[in-house]
Amino acid sequence: MIDFILIVTLCFSLLALLWGVGLLWGLVQTRVPCISTHRQRADEMIRCANIQPQHNICDLGCGTGNILFQAHKEHPKAYFTGYELSPVVCWWARLKSILLRQPIQFLRQDFFKANLSDQNIVFCYLFPKIMQRIETEIWPTLKPGAKVISHGFPFPHTKPSHTIMLGKIGIFVYER
């Protein structure tokens, strides 16, 4: 019995270590920690998106995919993609997608190297420097009518179509 408890403890410790190293590895690569958007804010972002069944929706730096899972539950016919560079976080999101039977595509890819010109809705929760790069490199490539919905950090130069303040934190909506 003690052997069994030891083996289980060892397995959990190994998994926790793998998770920790993976998070650290992701942080070194992207310089953005994997922090999930709070449920209430995710709901607000999804409401602002006004998702339609034919829409392509992506989350740039999706973490464990919380926003996408929530949005997919409400709009199962739309097509969802998450981009995430951190390997363990991306594998976890893929595993969740299988276990929850929610067909969401999770790509372990730098979103700056992706073609996002077919996306209707782009979610993000990143840092100001990255928002600046998104504004110059991704925003001009999006199609007319596409929306960028950013949690916490606005584009430095483009004015949002509207802003929702939840406490001190803003949700910034941009429409092309």
Ligand X SMILES: C[S@@+](CC[C@H](N)C(=O)[O-])C[C@H]1O[C@@H](n2cnc3c(N)ncnc32)[C@H](O)[C@@H]1O
Chain positions contacting ligand X, by CB under 6 A:
26, 30, 32, 34-37, 59, 61-63, 66-67, 83-86, 89, 110-112, 125-126, 151
Would you give the DSSP letter of residue 155?
Answer: -
Distance in Å, CB of 60 to ligand X, minimum: 7
Closest approach of ligand X to the CB of residue 124, in Å = 7
CB of 153: closest distance to ligand X in angstroms? Answer: 10
In this structure, which long-range contacts are made by residues 113-117, counting pairs with CB atoms below 8 Å and at least 24 apart in sequence? 114/83, 115/141, 116/58, 116/141, 116/142, 117/141, 117/142, 117/143
**Closest CB to ligand X among 79 and 106?**
106
Cβ atoms of 72 and 81 closer than 8 Å: no
Residue nearest to ligand X (CB): 61
Q: Where are the alpha helices (DSSP H) in the chain?
A: 2-30, 39-49, 66-74, 87-99, 128-133
Nearer to ligand X, 63 or 172 (CB): 63
Smallest separation, CB 99 to ligand X (Å) = 18
